[in-house]
Structure 1
Amino acid sequence: MLPVILGADIGVYALARAFHEEYGVRSIVVSGAALGPVARSAIIDNVLLGPDASPVDMVDRLVQLAGEHPGRTLVLLANSDWLVRVVVRHRARLEPHYVVPFLSEDLLDRIADKATFAEICAGLDIDVPRTIVQDFAAAGEAGWAPVDVDLAYPLIAKAASSADYQDVHFAGKKKVFEIADQAELDALWASLAAAGFRGRFVVQDLVPGDDTQMRSITAYVDSRGEITLLCSAHVLLEEHTPSGLGNPAAMITQRIEPMLEQARRFLRETGYVGFANFDVKVDPRDGSYRFFEVNPRIGRNNYYLTAAGANPMRFLVQDRVEGLAVEPVVVEKEILYSILPPRLLLRYVLDPALHAKVRALIRAGAVAHPLRYYPTDGSLARRAYVLAAKLNQIRKFRRYYPTATTTGF
């Protein structure tokens, strides 16, 4: 078996590490550059694409790469939405050479659209923030007017489909807008219409609460349609840099059954196959679990599963490579997953009970950092990078998410 993984971030390294821990195999990582998380690794062989490589160029290189390893079972993984889309769209070229454990293109298109995702969830009695859809298809015609929005301010506005939004340009463009009042919403609608946007935008109720209200779910659905792996986690702190906004930086694995049951319903009823990663927030107003989106991949912070004793690559390989039916697992073990220095994390966890739990897990040594794979992958260069990355988190939080508790960093 030979894992081939697309990308170069911390989640890609975590997948390579999971393969190595379970099967002792090195992985090939295909990317535009060997970034810090995957550079100088003893468990990775980097294959670099040209800086101007197109998706078709990448697929061409993958086909060529398969020819360089005859007799091997190649397992293809990607860990970002756009790369998953490239693989799914070119499945016909790739599947003769690779195991391609992803959902269908039709389902991918449906769940990638935030408006459609909300509609699917509503039909399955899965909690989502209240959502209003603004369709700009006729925005260039005389007499067009946006629909009324009767949500309380502040509220959230975002493109239903990133594919419809990525090539639209206007002053103040953001991935997600927090709208303070009607005037701001009117200005956003005018900017979108004038910029030629003709897709759909969703406006949603703003679920209150800080990062500790967030939850994460990772699932694997096998080729038979069975949900063989489920793991949930309580987020403690997210990243707040513009490029990493919303990515969990620290969380505790925890079985949250009412939330997992809603995820099961979604996966079963949609005919989902492969890995899925749900972003969920607890609504403090009623205690409900509000599902924001599902990512058609395992997720950037996937190492929390391996650290909690449920290496996700085992479920994938036994299903797609060995053809075995795997006994379903719901993770129970609590571990602290964190890419932060402990003192930095503890400064931000203000809830006394959560603070005490974090300290107890640290004292017990139940802490996992995906890049700390020592001594297996512990060269001086790797250790220096991991230390620098952790220290860099202090600088980033001081700049982008300062709080009264961070004095003295």
Structure 2
Amino acid sequence: MDRITEEELAGRLTPIVLGGDILAYSYARCFHEAYGVITTVYSGVDVKVTSSSRFVDYHVEPAMSEGEDAIVALLRDLGARLSGEGRVALLLGSADWHVRIISRHKEELEQWFVVPYNDFALLDDITQKGRFYELCEELGMAYPKTWSFDCARGELPLDPRELPYPLVAKPSNSARYDLMDFPGKEKVYEVHDPADLTRIFGLLRDAGYDRELVVQDFVPGEDDAIRSLTTYSDASGRLVAVSGGRVVLQDHSPARIGNPVCILLERCDQLVEDARRFCERVGYRGFANFDAKYDERDGTYKFFEVNVRPGANTWYMALGGVNFARLIVEDYVLGRELPYEEAYRDTLYTLVPARVVRDFVSDDGLRERALGLIREGRAASPFDYAPDTIAHRFWAHLRSARQHEKFERYLGRRR
């Protein structure tokens, strides 16, 4: 694709996002703030908080629920049309499985789209949790002690009584697992004893999951021990932007457990330096999102995985001072050399109202710090975008208002 000038962006840039939830709206907000453009979203369902936005051209598209071939066919038709109109179409995915499809077909899709993702060989390699931990070992990055069991084998290859408990179990291939639907499915499984492990292994095997089940040492600590780190690397593999923070609260519903809903922006030197070495070692380009947890037993931050896309909460980078959509455009569309930036303003990213923080954050100091930022007007959600429609604000308010009831259902009242 020929380079274009910044002056041409407002008339030609067309961001295309697959999936309609938090990240899609965050993209749309950032693209509008930076370039004044509308983002086109394709989703299998109508996510009202996004579809009601005046900055989104929202399409409920059956092909998004019909599998990879249907999605690629949709993109072929869309790409040919946009190319014929002289548009600069930037293709983005909200979920892991969107990104895998885009990356797998990257060579073909680049005929029509700017595709800001790594080649599939690299993407597939580092998202296999076993391979990620091999790289952690090589680079001296701390990670939980881990065992992997192939669900395609039909039975556990060792006596589950030999393992230490408690443990945490999760599928190694999250993109494949996300597309499955079966009774008892959870994002992450708590394993308290050998019977639990046997049951969970059998549940996934019988549901047709034929990849590895990763079982890990449980790192003690509540939500506030979890850290999120977002990085951006340029074409040379140089880390050029970083942001992250301490999780104040995460979602505790079974289908969404582990998704942070409140994050205090905060720099952690160990995580930044470890992530820098990882990205440089593998030749990574673009956004990466790392999940880690502080282990009070040895004073280290243990890495769990790398997500090869911005995480759902990446708007915290914009809140911290760096518009994350701008990084992609500057790098992939305008071909500029990016200066090094850090996004760590003293702010609170939150998808929940103050009363959820008040009632469900157990650490006194952290709770008061978070509530103080809310009182001072230094807390925000990506959905808090004043120029947007009344309908968008209604759906955003409704979504936030339901959070307290959900936390009561799954946690009970903490204080």
TM over 0.5: yes
The CA deviation at 1:28 is: 0.7
Alignment of 1:4-403 (within 5 A): 4-50=16-62, 52-69=65-82, 70-136=85-151, 138-139=153-154, 145-146=157-158, 150-162=162-174, 172-189=184-201, 198-374=210-386, 376-377=387-388, 379-403=389-413
Alpha-carbon contact 2:50-2:392 (below 8 Å) kept: no
The CA deviation at 1:384 is: 1.3
The CA deviation at 1:182 is: 2.4
Alpha-carbon contact 2:170-2:214 (below 8 Å) kept: yes
Alpha-carbon contact 1:228-1:328 (below 8 Å) kept: yes
Partner letter of residue 42 of structure 1? Answer: R
Partner letter of residue 191 of structure 2? Answer: I
Alpha-carbon contact 2:160-2:197 (below 8 Å) kept: no
Q: Secondary structure of the residue that 1:353 maps to in structure 2?
A: helix
> What is the rounded CA distance, in whole Å, between the counterparts of 1:251 and 1:145 in structure 2?
39
Which 10-residue stretch deviates more, 56-65 or 282-291? 56-65
TM-score (norm 1): 0.91
Alpha-carbon contact 1:151-1:205 (below 8 Å) kept: no
Partner letter of residue 314 of structure 2? Answer: N
Unaligned runs of 5+ in 2: 1-12
Unaligned runs of 5+ in 1: none
> What is the rounded CA distance, in whole Å, between the counterparts of 1:145 and 1:369 in structure 2?
46
> What is the rounded CA distance, in whole Å, between the counterparts of 2:377 and 2:122 in structure 1?
41
Q: Secondary structure of the residue that 1:121 maps to in structure 2?
A: helix
The CA deviation at 1:167 is: 8.3
Partner letter of residue 360 of structure 2? Answer: Y
Q: Secondary structure of the residue that 2:313 maps to in structure 1?
A: coil
The CA deviation at 1:396 is: 1.2
> What is the rounded CA distance, in whole Å, between the counterparts of 1:192 and 1:218 in structure 2?
30
1:134–1:58 CA distance, 2 compared to 1 (3 A): closer
> What is the rounded CA distance, in whole Å, between the counterparts of 1:16 and 1:267 in structure 2?
27
The CA deviation at 1:257 is: 1.1
Q: Secondary structure of the residue that 1:37 maps to in structure 2?
A: helix
TM-score (norm 2): 0.90
Alpha-carbon contact 2:169-2:213 (below 8 Å) kept: yes
The CA deviation at 1:170 is: 7.9
2:6 matched to which residue of 1? none
1:262–1:151 CA distance, 2 compared to 1 (3 A): farther
1:152–1:352 CA distance, 2 compared to 1 (3 A): same
> What is the rounded CA distance, in whole Å, between the counterparts of 2:256 and 2:157 in structure 1?
35
> What is the rounded CA distance, in whole Å, between the counterparts of 1:193 and 1:68 in structure 2?
43
Partner letter of residue 70 of structure 2? Answer: D
> What is the rounded CA distance, in whole Å, between the counterparts of 1:169 and 1:246 in structure 2?
19
Partner letter of residue 65 of structure 1? Answer: L
The CA deviation at 1:268 is: 0.9
The CA deviation at 1:137 is: 5.3
Alpha-carbon contact 2:186-2:255 (below 8 Å) kept: no
Q: Secondary structure of the residue that 2:306 maps to in structure 1?
A: strand
> What is the rounded CA distance, in whole Å, between the counterparts of 2:47 and 2:206 in structure 1?
38
Alpha-carbon contact 1:5-1:76 (below 8 Å) kept: yes
The CA deviation at 1:311 is: 0.6
1:287–1:150 CA distance, 2 compared to 1 (3 A): farther
The CA deviation at 1:190 is: 5.3
1:68–1:127 CA distance, 2 compared to 1 (3 A): same
Partner letter of residue 78 of structure 2? Answer: L
The CA deviation at 1:97 is: 0.7
> What is the rounded CA distance, in whole Å, between the counterparts of 1:11 and 1:252 in structure 2?
18
Alpha-carbon contact 2:220-2:296 (below 8 Å) kept: yes
Alpha-carbon contact 2:168-2:215 (below 8 Å) kept: yes
Partner letter of residue 398 of structure 2? Answer: A
The CA deviation at 1:9 is: 0.3
Q: Secondary structure of the residue that 1:38 maps to in structure 2?
A: helix
More helix by share: 2
Q: Secondary structure of the residue that 2:51 maps to in structure 1?
A: coil
> What is the rounded CA distance, in whole Å, between the counterparts of 2:60 and 2:200 in structure 1?
40
Which 10-residue stretch deviates more, 282-291 or 128-137? 128-137
RMSD over aligned Cα atoms: 2.3
> What is the rounded CA distance, in whole Å, between the counterparts of 1:81 and 1:357 in structure 2?
33
**Number of matched pairs:** 400
The CA deviation at 1:129 is: 0.5
1:75–1:187 CA distance, 2 compared to 1 (3 A): closer
> What is the rounded CA distance, in whole Å, between the counterparts of 2:51 and 2:97 in structure 1?
22
> What is the rounded CA distance, in whole Å, between the counterparts of 2:172 and 2:161 in structure 1?
16
The CA deviation at 1:185 is: 2.6
Alpha-carbon contact 1:306-1:312 (below 8 Å) kept: yes
The CA deviation at 1:177 is: 2.2
1:199–1:149 CA distance, 2 compared to 1 (3 A): farther
> What is the rounded CA distance, in whole Å, between the counterparts of 2:204 and 2:286 in structure 1?
35
2:5 matched to which residue of 1? none
Q: Secondary structure of the residue that 1:361 maps to in structure 2?
A: helix
